[in-house]
Structure 1
Amino acid sequence: MVFAAPGSDPSLGVEELDVEPLVLSDAARSDVSMPPEAQVRETFSYLQVMRAFAVRPDIDVVHNNTLHYLPVVMSSAIPQPLVTTLHTPVTPWLEPALRLNPAAHTVAVSDSVAQLWSTLTPARVIRNGVDALEWSPGPGGDSLVWSGRIVPEKAPHVAALIALRAGWKLRIAGPVSDRHYYETRLAPLLGEQVTHVGHLGTRALRTLVGQSAACLVTPAWEEPYGLVAAEAMACGTPVLAVARGGLSEVVRAPGGLTSQPGADEAATVAGATRLLPSVVAMDRERVRSYALETCSLTATVDAYVALYQELMRS
């Protein structure tokens, strides 16, 4: 079963967690050392969730996909084994939690993430997968695409610079999660050649990606996995990615090519621009076949089911 917060879409078939809202007295709120209320609310919610699992004999394994420290710290307080998937580089919340619980069961979404956490936990690697039925083949087109959150670490402005230098149109899809970054770094590059098409739903995004000649993935941080690259390749759209973190494990010929980051941004843009013609020329059927072989959701599910069964036997 899948647990979700109150107010989740009932059509998803999830079980809502019975979490009481945070109630603080005026005296507590007046404490000058009070941390941000959102932080208190979140911690109180996770505490209730872990207490609920402790009295659920119908649950065999708890799979923790959060970035909060409390499930890891409290894992010994519930009867079920708890496995935590590490979706990011090391964070200040999870690092001390794993140090307190070195026997925690962990999974990393790439070899790169596993290596980043290796001094704290021997994480098993189970890569993310994409639904090949949902991310279906597209015909390609005469524009490039970039998708994701518009934030500095995802660096869509680098994709814009590549497109401008190479003479290609680029459509950028995603929510503006950092307004200052958008206004100062990306907006000045927008125009007739590079456009921001907004935050699209899955169906519209799939159509956009499938109707693009290539997908650019341009992280400025150690990308844990690179799901947008896997989604694009499942559509048959080849990928040109800056080789940061787990992306270099996901994007390889014949599905795509990686560009090593240069000494500076200009060098990265120049290197990617040189590779772009060979990426656009890739055979779309081979690209999709590569995605089905290496980024299969079925393989991901099978690996997790095998892990659950292993934990239940231990």
Structure 2
Amino acid sequence: MRIAVLCHVRQPIAQPFAGGMESQCWHLAAGLQARGHDVVLFASGDSDPRFTIDAVIPTHYDRTFPGAEHRGFAPLIAHLDDSYAAACDRIAAGGFDVLHNNSLHRFPLEPARTARVPTVTSLHVPPYDALRWFVHASIAPTHRLTATSAHHLAAWWPDGPPREASVLHNGIDLQAWPFVPEGDGSAVWFGRMTPDKAPHLAVQAARIAGVPLTLFGPIEDRDYWDADVVPLLGGSIRYGGHLDAAAVAFEIGRASAFVFTPCWDEPFGLVAIEAMACGLPVAAFDRGALREVIGETGCFAPPGDVSALARAITTAIQRPRAPQRDRVAKAFTRDRWLDRCEDLYRDVVGRDQGPSA
């Protein structure tokens, strides 16, 4: 099939990944390409050149409009509207069998556009007012929508989803996250350095537990980082940097527990299954879809309860490692995810199409 993959353009689709959306878009394009599909990545122009890129904008917008993501900045809104409108027009004229939309923008959702190019839209975030109405109004025979978990699907459609909406669990390449049979007694945290991811709470819990902790990931909110995280570093608590996938997999695999501290309703929790693939038991705040994804192998604390999280870390370190890997292998592999994507494409296109040039 000829497939357009349309991405969010706040960050480039390239390593080291800024977050889960960027990682999943990269792996989607790479996986479909490896299966013989003709894939064009509609993303920022500074994305990974290994792909055929049709640039939505020349450079990811966090570089040209730093800090403007959630501030209703009119020039950024106009820039994105113009760019996505033009990209959607190019997709409509590009002879694509299907569009996989990961953009979080309203234009690709319009029924007039999905009628021209059958579309699968993957929702990566909880429902928010700027997008909710457009998602609900987008239901059409040539449009399918996916959420990353049952919890996430119910958040978007509390009264029950339409037939066109379903769960599409994220998946990872197990070979990229090798299993390590024994850890070194430390804990690790991996994600974006923002208040809603709350690495500072992971540090506080690790200190109470008396467990060394290393933080990995991009410093997205510099003010938060400087004020709330940097003063807590030192001794057994350190920052290991923002690493590419292979390097961070190596570092995670050496630890004995993974600490997950969301202060929002996580739609899925990709970093948890990455750590679990390496064998790490997870100590986490019980928010969003985490219990659904991590399962009974995890150790949970009430949201925001640092003392309970410290106890969860201590318990997680004692848990066996093999069940973590087994859970990911059964439910969250890249091949399982790509199989489901291809099923959705065939369903929305309305005919049986295998990989073709």
Q: Bin the TM-score by the shorter chain.
A: 0.7 to 0.9
**2:167 aligned to 109, 125, 132, which one?**
125
- State, as a whole percentage, how many aligned pairs show the same letter: 33
- Match in the other structure for 1:171: 214
Question: Contact (CA 8 Å) 2:42, 2:56: kept in 1 or not?
Answer: no
Identify the residue that residue 105 of structure 1 maps to in structure 2. 144
Selected match of 1:88 from 125, 149, 158 = 125
Report SS of the residue matched to 2:313: helix
CA gap of 1:18–1:196, structure 2 versus 1, over 3 A, is closer
Unpaired segments ≥5 residues, structure 1: 22-33
- 1:36 aligns with 74
Q: How far does residue 71 in structure 1 lie from its aligned partner after superposition? A: 0.8
Question: Who is 1:115 aligned against?
Answer: 154
Q: How does 1:165-204 map to 2 (within 5 A)?
A: 165-204=208-247
Shift of the alpha carbon at 1:119? 5.0
AA paired with 2:172? V
Matched, 1:223 2:266: yes
Q: Is 1:48 aligned to residue 48 of structure 2?
A: no
The amino acid of 1:303's aligned partner reads R
What do residues 100-142 of structure 1 show as CA deviations (whole Å, max 9, x unaligned)? 3243521001111111110595330011011101011124212
Structure possessing the higher radius of gyration over alpha carbons: 1
TM superposition outliers: structure 1 runs of 4+ over 6 Å:
18-21
Give the RMSD, CA atoms, in angstroms: 2.2
**1:94 alignment partner AA:** L
Give me the whole-angstrom Cα distance separating, in 2, the residues matched to 1:213 and 1:75: 51
What corresponds to 2:190 in structure 1? 147
Determine the structure 2 residue equivalent to 1:134: 176
Q: TM-score, normalised by structure 2?
A: 0.77
Matched, 1:61 2:98: yes
Distance 1:232 1:20, change over 3 A: closer
Report the number of matched residues: 294
Matched letter for residue 8 of structure 1: S
1:14–1:257: structure 2 CA closer, same or farther, 3 Å change rule?
farther
Equivalent-residue separation in structure 2 for 1:60 and 1:73 (angstroms): 17
The structure with higher relative contact order (CA 8 Å, sep 6+) is 2
1:252-281 per-position Cα deviation (integer Å, ceiling 9, x unaligned): 233x222232xxx4xx11222222233111
Matched, 1:157 2:194: no
- Are residues 1:296 and 2:333 paired? yes
Contact 2:284-2:312 at 8 Å conserved across structures? no
Structure 1 residues 35 and 196: CA distance shift in structure 2, 3 A: closer
Residues in 2 aligned to 1:150 and 1:20: alpha-carbon distance in whole angstroms: 26
- Indicate whether 1:9 and 2:48 are aligned: yes
Question: What is aligned with 2:249?
Answer: 206
Stretches of structure 2 that go unaligned for 5 or more consecutive residues are 1-38, 60-71, 352-357
Contact 1:19 1:49 in 2 (8 A): no
Task: Report SS of the residue matched to 2:122.
Answer: strand
